[in-house]
Amino acid sequence: MKQDSHDLLQGTLDLLVLKALSLAPMHGWGVAQRLQLLSREVLQVNQGSLYPALHRLERKGFIDSEWAASENNRRARYYRITPKGARALESETESWERFAGAVARVLQTT
């Protein structure tokens, strides 16, 4: 199951991570928590595969990162969305909505 959702959502995962980071800068664990919360536990992300996604987005320049102290004063890597990432999120969101709408229309056809 996990394997399937991982494959299916490979592209979508990037979008979700960007969305989560657009709300506030946070570390990997935070992103995982946020995704689970926002999707009301529907999206069970394989937590480990979050990190390749984060590194991929950083390489593309959509996010950047720095090490900072976390809540209980431990060092953690914080990711922040860049202006370029914000623009990408916007256009990706749009096309996702178009896509989702189209799929929905097809499925609703009786």
Partner 1 sequence: MSWLKTAGRAFFFRRKVEAELDDEMRFHLEKAQEELVARGIPPGEARLQALREFGGIEQHKEECRDERGISALEDLGRDLRFAFRSLRRNAGFAAVAVLSLALGIGAATAIFSVVHAVLLKPLPYPQAERLVRVWNSWNETPDARLSVPELLDYRARVPSVQLAGHASSEAVLALGDQRMRLRALNVTSGYFEVLGANPVLGRTFAAEEEREGHPVTILPHALWQKLFGGAATAIGASVTVDGTPCTVVGVLPAWFVAPDELSGSDPSEIFLPLGYSPADVAFRGSHFLRTVGRLRAGASVTEASAALDAVARSFGAAYPDSYPERMRFAARAVSLSGDLTRAVRAPLLLLFGAVGAVLLLVCANLAVLLLARAESRHSELAIRAALGAGSGRLVRLLVTESLLLSLLGGAGGAILAALGVNVLLSLAPSDLPRLGEVAVRLPVLGFALAVATAVGLAVGLVPALQAVRGGLRDAAGRTLVSRGRLRRVLVVSEVALALLLLLGAGLLGRSFSRLLDVDPGFDPRGVLSVSVTLPEETKRSNEEAVRFFRDLDTRVAALPGVVAVGSVQGLPLASRRGDLNIEIEGREQHPGEARDHADWQVVTPGYVRAMGMRLLRGRDLSPSDDAQAPGAVLVNEALVRRYFPGEDPIGKRFTLGAGSGPGKVTVVGIVADVRQASLDADPKPEMYLPHAQFTLWTSKATVRSMTLAVRSAGNPALLAGPIRDVIGSLEPRLVPGPFRTMGEVRSASVARPRFALVLVGLFSGAALVIAVIGVYGVTAYSVVRRTREIGIRLALGAVPSSILRLVAREGAALGACGIGLGLLLWLGASRALAGLLFGVKPMDVLTLVEAGAVLGAATVLAGFFPARRATRVDPTVAIRTE
Site residues (CB under 8 A) for partner 1?
A: 2, 27-29, 32, 46-49, 51-52, 55-56, 58-61, 64, 67, 70, 74-77
Nearer to partner 1, 71 or 110 (CB): 71
Q: Minimum distance between the CB of residue 101 and partner 1, rounded to whole angstroms?
A: 31
Which H/E stretch holds residue 27? strand 26-27
For the chain, how many helices (H) and strands (E)? 5, 3
Nearer to partner 1, 48 or 101 (CB): 48
Q: Minimum distance between the CB of residue 71 and partner 1, rounded to whole angstroms?
A: 10
Nearer to partner 1, 77 or 80 (CB): 77
Other CB atoms within 10 Å distance of the CB of residue 105: 9
Q: Minimum distance between the CB of residue 42 and partner 1, rounded to whole angstroms?
A: 16
Q: Minimum distance between the CB of residue 108 and partner 1, rounded to whole angstroms?
A: 35
The DSSP-derived string for 61-98 is: TSEEEEEEE-TTS-EEEEEEE-HHHHHHHHHHHHHHHH
Nearer to partner 1, 75 or 105 (CB): 75
Please state the length of the chain.
110
CA gyration radius, the chain: 15
